[in-house]
Structure 1
Amino acid sequence: MDATLPTQQPLSRLNVFATKGVQMRTFHLTWLTFFFCFFGWFGIAPLMPLVREQLHLDKGQVGNIVIASVSATILARLLMGKLCDTIGPRLAYTLLLAVGALPVMFIGLSNSYQSFLLFRLAIGIIGASFVITQFHTSMMFAPNIVGTANAVAGGWGNLGGGIANMLMPLVAAGFVALGYVDKANSWRLAMVVPGVILLIMSVLYYKFTEDTPRGNYADIERTASIKKKGTFLLALRDYRTWLLALAYGACFGIEITIDNVAAVYFVDHFGATLVAAGLLAGVFGFMNIFARGLGGIVADRTGRAYGIKGKWVLLSGLLVLEGIGIAFFSMAPSLALAITAMLGFALFLKMANGCTYSIVPFVNKEAIGSVSGVVGAGGNLGAMLVGFLFKSASISYSQAFLYIGFGVAAVGAIVLLVRLVVKESAEVATEAPLTLASA
């Protein structure tokens, strides 16, 4: 009706070089914020050899720290999914960033295993940023492109984990070179950097984003007819939510586990230096710059050709290939072959991440945030469970990766089997409206 009307609608195409309009401004801010959340979440991972030496940690304690780093995220993702449906992604993200920055900055105060474990547990809440990013992107893009938009935003955000593995050893070394701290304590000062960045992003997110293309929840709720009560139960009652949570545990759950243990694995198993191990682990995370987005693109095209059922078949196949690749990685006799296998399974893993969240918005259009939260929590639950393999005194890291490979392939087969056996009475069509923009 007026010239501003198109800006009130979700975008039907994604131009990553565009910056005008609330949709693209939100897109770029949400993936960038997610990037720094991942950077802060896994910033300590490549520095763990230093922490392990200074705090005299054994393998079991390191394993408990890995488990703790992903445990708090489970409840945080469930909570943030619900908050996205109620107070909106803008306020939810601002709150999460402001609170999550504190343990990131102050983990350097740890002087014992117990205090470090508690700080690592608290840092895990910023992993819930993923749910808000996926929800906010779903609000800003139309159904025909939402899978691609979610995957690109998620992939570029996940890239923060890889960049953290690459840069944090260099940040720590930089503080040593400047004479501010010795090498043994360099990890303490290094972690202040991502914490400060998170506080800055909380201000930017509050100031420059909106909940939907039509405005913030506080403004549009006066006329909106959709009521956001009971969305969590809607999500829990649908078996597809749980199936996607299982699948996400087998792809994203493995990703954040590798983000946590890869540097230690390369140091201990292949004798790599701290900086070299961080760079190698960073290569795994760096593939998010294209691989998760590729999964979303392929999933959207599959959905247009074969519907939602085609996306499920694609997800199953990606998980099986991921599992096979992890098994080969576990048996690699040399560093070169291990890197090759890692690049192979990383491609399928990250594509599976993107494919999973190309399906999420179509499970229940009235509970996108809650479905996203439950599925995201499933990813962290998977990471927590496999974390127990890495703390066992009787299982080597190589054996743990082999068991994980078999398990991931089995999950892929389960996804396909369930979708073939269960008959759908109704499936949200890819043309169905997804957001409050239709209210």
Structure 2
Amino acid sequence: MSSNALNLLSFRGKTRILHLTWVAFFISFYAWFNHAPLLMAISESLSLAPDQVKTLLILNVALTIPARIVIGMLTDKYGPRLTFSLLLAVGSIPCFIFALADNFVQAAIGRFLLGFIGAGFVVGIRMVSEWFPARQLGTAEGIYGGWGNFGSAAAAITLPTVALIFGGDDGWRYAIGLTGVIALVYSVIYYNTVTDTPKGSTYFKPKKIGGMEVTGKGDFALLLVMKLPMYAALALLTWKLSPAGVSLLPGIAAAIIYAGLVLLYILDARKCYDINREVLQTPPEPIHRYKFKQVAILNLLYFATFGSELAVVSMLPLFFSETFTLDPVKAGLLGSAYAFMNLVSRPTGGLFSDKYGRKITLQILVLGLAAGYLLMSQINSAWPIYLAVAAAMFCSFFVQAGEGAVFAVVPLIKRRLTGQIAGMTGAYGNVGAVFYLTVLSLVSYEVFFLVIAATAVVGFAALLLMEEPQGQIAETLPDGSVSLINVT
């Protein structure tokens, strides 16, 4: 066995940490998507109107965008062991709130708060990067992301059965409550079985918390620009909840939120300036610099990859149902093929990135993604169903392998900022989902798929500016000496 190979059957050392961490991520997504397979029973039990059901779906992703930024900062500051454990423990509470809800308002509060647990993905990215060398990092991060992401599919497969076992009108409550119990129990297990780094290694922390450090004036300007789409996505979600959308929020409340988002962006920009004031006045030595354009490009790529995955997974069953006149159950099973590919696709993207290079792998996968969505835009009722499903699976391979390749690069930019970089890149995936689902509400399925393909082409153009990670990145040890970390 080569030194680059991972023995996934082992439960020792770094492989043990990988297994424990992807399970934590799996559970976070298992809890986050615990409502989807039970939505019909929930709707009947709480007597929800169709607009209220749609509102719950919107609320489920609303908090995840800022949560991934915040959790990324906390991970870098306090370490993934404590952060992931607390996230699972605190995330169990909204599960119980939702399970005990007697009306729409209570359910809405539970769903909104549950979006926070969706930030769990960010924590494991930093944990895995601490334990694996660069030559194995893409593969390890791909396994972490792909196997953990399967938690949403596992929820769809198992929770209806759990609800049936408990039976009655309250079966869904027991199923959702169980996901909270699992998250709470595993938070204790995770805290007591992992460490932030291998024995003898240093956990590098950011110098300040509250905003991302950059190393140049141009990078600072780009950071402020890249923050805008995240605030715009939150404004778009507010618009959907306003009288112009599903009317959950009164007009005055929506106006207050819009003003609050503007004010929050200004305060955010000011905080980032305060953190980077010294660097902007006196740039650090070249060995300590990193290029924020690398982060910006990865953000755009995750917008197109994970953003499109979230959007397509939510609409594909309906697309198959309407295109081929299928019953909802069969359409749902066919649609699940898209998400099922995660088990293999993400690890494959990371593996190819380790073996053939980060940039060339991303270029090939992003082009494949664009071609896949172009192909899906041509699907119509004249196609054989098996061919339509094959096209969806072909497309999903490039989408999810691209996600794995993106996060094969994220930990190689600046070690002490890995959580924050992962948080921002991960948030862009949710921003992409909000954008694509909004597009879907305005255009046909064909145009929807073409828009995704077009954004992938934009991502490919940006990718031409990305630099292949090579050499070493420098971090300062507590005694003031410099540690060099290999990234090739």
TM normalised by structure 1 equals 0.81
C-alpha distance 53-434 of structure 1, shift in aligned 2 (>3 A) = farther
In the TM superposition, residue 201 of structure 1 has moved relative to its aligned partner by 1.1
Q: Distance in 2 between matches of 1:267 and 1:434?
A: 53
Residue 43 (1) aligns with residue 37 (2): no
C-alpha distance 20-229 of structure 1, shift in aligned 2 (>3 A) = same
**Relative contact order higher in (CA < 8 Å, ≥ 6 apart):** 1
Deviations 1:353-379 (A, max 9, x none): 010011111222331121111111111
Residue 89 (1) aligns with residue 68 (2): no
Q: Distance in 1 between matches of 2:111 and 2:448?
A: 23
Identity %: 34
C-alpha distance 20-406 of structure 1, shift in aligned 2 (>3 A) = closer
Aligned position for 1:342: 392
Q: Distance in 1 between matches of 2:351 and 2:472?
A: 17
| 1:329 alignment partner, one of 371, 376, 397 | 376
In the TM superposition, residue 342 of structure 1 has moved relative to its aligned partner by 1.3
**Residue type of the alignment partner of 1:288:** N
Structure 1, unpaired ranges of 5+: 1-10, 304-310
Aligned position for 2:366: 319
SS at match of 1:366: helix
Residue 429 (1) aligns with residue 470 (2): yes
Deviations 1:95-148 (A, max 9, x none): 100111122233233454444333222211111111111110001001111111
In the TM superposition, residue 50 of structure 1 has moved relative to its aligned partner by 4.0
Comparing 139-148 with 273-282, greater Cα deviation is found at 273-282
**Residue type of the alignment partner of 2:212:** L
In the TM superposition, residue 71 of structure 1 has moved relative to its aligned partner by 2.2
Q: Is the 8 A contact 2:127 2:196 kept in 1?
A: yes
**Residue type of the alignment partner of 1:409:** A
Aligned position for 2:181: 196
**Residue type of the alignment partner of 2:23:** L
Aligned position for 1:187: 172
In the TM superposition, residue 46 of structure 1 has moved relative to its aligned partner by 2.7
| 1:131 alignment partner, one of 122, 125, 131 | 122
Structure 2, unpaired ranges of 5+: 221-291
Q: Distance in 1 between matches of 2:139 and 2:471?
A: 13
**Residue type of the alignment partner of 1:198:** A
* Aligned-residue CA RMSD (Å): 3.0
Residue 359 (1) aligns with residue 409 (2): yes
Q: Distance in 2 between matches of 1:430 and 1:18?
A: 30
Q: Is the 8 A contact 1:249 1:380 kept in 2?
A: yes
Q: Is the 8 A contact 1:46 1:278 kept in 2?
A: no
Aligned position for 2:429: 379
**How many pairs align?**
398
TM normalised by structure 2 equals 0.73
Q: 1:149-188 residue pairs with structure 2 within 5 A?
A: 149-175=140-166, 180-182=167-169, 186-188=171-173
Residue 121 (1) aligns with residue 112 (2): yes
C-alpha distance 66-262 of structure 1, shift in aligned 2 (>3 A) = farther
Q: Distance in 2 between matches of 1:122 and 1:270?
A: 37
Q: Distance in 1 between matches of 2:375 and 2:163?
A: 33
Aligned position for 2:282: none
Q: Is the 8 A contact 1:45 1:261 kept in 2?
A: no
C-alpha distance 356-150 of structure 1, shift in aligned 2 (>3 A) = same
Which protein is bigger by CA-based radius of gyration? 2
Q: Distance in 2 between matches of 1:66 and 1:41?
A: 11
Residue 233 (1) aligns with residue 212 (2): yes
Q: Distance in 2 between matches of 1:57 and 1:323?
A: 37
C-alpha distance 283-104 of structure 1, shift in aligned 2 (>3 A) = farther
In the TM superposition, residue 225 of structure 1 has moved relative to its aligned partner by 9.3
Q: Is the 8 A contact 1:164 1:282 kept in 2?
A: no
